[in-house]
Amino acid sequence: MIEAIVPRSRQLSRWRRAGARLLMVMMASGCYTWRIERVAPESLLAQQPRRVRVTRTDGTQAILTQPTLQADALTSSKSRVGQSELLIPLTEVRTLESRRFSVGGTLGLGVALFGAYLMAAIIATTSNPP
């Protein structure tokens, strides 16, 4: 069996690239969380949120994209439940939630990823090749 000998600098370069890619993917997705809005639906929709998660009185949830209020119902031209249009009467709405940026979650994820990257780099540099 022929084994390729890879220079140590190339091994480190691979780890750096992999770590950078992982960090970019995780940070690009961002740390957003759903937060319950304690305002009337009219007030929330006046802010024109991109997405709203609705919890109905029966416990089911739906995510509405670009929601609007028509008469006494929430509507969306797009939804994540496989329908082309969704109509939810306000009498069936238990809670409304909007996505918000979470500073604490983002910092925590960044610190965790950096720690994992450092551990991997330390293991890679201290391990002896076979």
**Amino acid letter at 107?**
L
Domain 31-101: state its class. mainly beta
Q: What is the pTM of this model?
A: 0.59
Q: Is the pLDDT of residue 81 over 60?
A: no
User: Rounded mean pLDDT of 55-83?
Assistant: 83
**Residue 125: pLDDT above 90?**
no
Q: C-alpha distances in angstroms, 74 versus 4, 59, 87, 121?
A: 62, 17, 6, 51
Mean pLDDT, range 80-95, rounded to an integer: 80
